[in-house]
Amino acid sequence: MKKKILIIEDEVEASGAMKSMLEASGFEVTTAANGEEGLQAARTMVPDLILLDLMLPKMSGFVVTRLLKFDERYSKIPIIILSAKAEDQDFSMGEKVGASGYLMKPVKSGLLLEKIKETLSAAATQ
């Protein structure tokens, strides 16, 4: 069965490029263009993994992560934050809210795929 990935990203080109690459790698992919839409999609589809931008319209990636991680029904969904923000406080905030990983944008396809597989594998053993 295909693993389901939710991409929450407001940049259409970035979202589309990730979606194409992941579908070509055998994943089922859904996209959302803002924090509210992403939170709703996560609660509806319960993906195997979420790729999440931090700077989103309507609700930040940190808020989306907190809302999912503090809800027992969704707390086990691994979340990889993708952001252009590279400051230590952003990395530590990502850890505090429960993100499984943090990658800098722009992220190379190979690195992203490797991180996704590694994160899904770790989640399967929990």
Superfamily of domain 4-119: Response regulator (3.40.50.2300)
Amino acid identity, position 109:
S
pTM across the whole model: 0.94
| Residue 61 buriedness (CB in 10 A; 0-12 / 13-18 / 19+) | buried
Residue 53: helix, strand or coil by DSSP? strand
Three-state SS at 8: strand
In order along its 126 residues, the chain shows pLDDT tens digits of 899 999 999 999 999 999 999 999 999 999 999 999 999 999 999 999 999 999 999 999 999 999 999 999 999 999 999 988 767 777 787 788 889 999 988 899 999 999 999 999 999 887
96: which 2 tokens?
């505090």
* Domain boundaries of the chain, sorted by first residue: 4-119
Query: Which pLDDT value is given to residue 95?
Result: 81
